[in-house]
Structure 1
Amino acid sequence: MSDMEWVDEEAGPVVRPYAMTRGRTRPSSTALDLLAVITSTGVPVPAQADLGSQHRRLLDHVTQGRTGPLVEVASETGLPVGVVRVLLGDLLDHGLILVRPPVTAAASPTESLLREVISGLRAL
């Protein structure tokens, strides 16, 4: 697939999602939850990696310190979530990104702990 984009005068660049993912609809990893936090590993792109322009765009995005949940990455890059999941799966396979699971409700502070913190701050 070439990096050529088709342009519609009113809509701007137009490329079908399946063209960006080479026809794939599922990511290679189940770790790519919508709220999973995506960060760059800082590893150079391997010579054998067949990455398209959208792969590189996503990698540049997370490499520039814009780590965050997968849905935010999709929103900030203007790409459909399904496309981002597939492309990030490719980057994960090459070791270019890390995927951390979302914070679960059990890992978040309890209401009583938050009340204690507020009380402590008020006491200052």
Structure 2
Amino acid sequence: MSAPGGAQGGAAGGAGGTAWFDDDAGPVVRPYALTGGRTHYEGVEFDLVALIEAVEAPGAADANPAIPASPWSPEPEHDMILELCRTPLSVVEIASDLELPLGVVRVLLGDLLDRSLIQVRRPAPVAQFPSERVLKEVIDGIRAL
């Protein structure tokens, strides 16, 4: 039995401000809160095995003072992704390390890609199967042994 006023199993609407607290998991933050309500990235599709690598941000000396700075400020999750991706990691590894849903990670990666803070390396295409002629020649060669 749980203590009075404590939230059990993430129940919403409990007394004492515990509506967003789960006894086992801790504070609960809805995924769309991390992405500002966005559910997918409008740009390129991030493949699960695509490698993401952080790119050095241009220095303040490189910036043109005539161009106003962007009003965007990264969330802590953006910073964590950049820290993780100092060495290339796949999208699925980033989601696992941050313990975030893949959809949320893809939106956050899109934010970073739009600001040229990451580089995406697509997985190599699957090799083409050899032609039927090549397979027959291999079989004939094996039979000749």
TM-score by length of 1: 0.70
Structure 1 contact 45–96 (Cα < 8 Å) conserved: no
Tell me how far apart the structure 1 counterparts of residues 28 and 51 of structure 2 sit (CA, whole Å). Answer: 28
Tell me how far apart the structure 2 counterparts of residues 94 and 50 of structure 1 sit (CA, whole Å). Answer: 11
Q: 2:44 aligns with which of 30, 34, 42?
A: 30
Structure 1 contact 44–96 (Cα < 8 Å) conserved: no
Aligned residues: 100
For residue 9 of structure 1, report the CA deviation from its aligned partner: 3.5
- Which of structures 1 and 2 has the larger relative contact order (alpha carbons within 8 angstroms, sep 6+)? 1
For residue 15 of structure 1, report the CA deviation from its aligned partner: 0.6
Unpaired stretches in structure 1, ≥5 consecutive residues: 1-5, 108-124
Identity %: 47
Structure 1 contact 31–101 (Cα < 8 Å) conserved: no
Secondary structure class of the residue paired with 1:38: strand
Once the two structures are superposed, the pairs formed by residues 11-90 of structure 1 within 5 Å of their partners are 11-43=25-57, 48=70, 49-63=72-86, 65=87, 67-90=88-111
Tell me which amino acid in the other structure corresponds to 1:89: G
Change (3 A) 1:53 1:31: same
Match of 1:98 in 2: 119
Unpaired stretches in structure 2, ≥5 consecutive residues: 1-19, 61-68, 129-145
Q: Which runs of 4+ in 1 moved over 2 A?
A: 6-9, 44-50
Q: Name the larger-Rg structure.
A: 2
Tell me how far apart the structure 1 counterparts of residues 99 and 23 of structure 2 sit (CA, whole Å). Answer: 18
TM-score by length of 2: 0.61
- Normalized per residue, the structure richer in helix is 1
CA-atom RMSD, angstroms?
A: 2.3
Tell me how far apart the structure 2 counterparts of residues 45 and 60 of structure 1 sit (CA, whole Å). Answer: 17
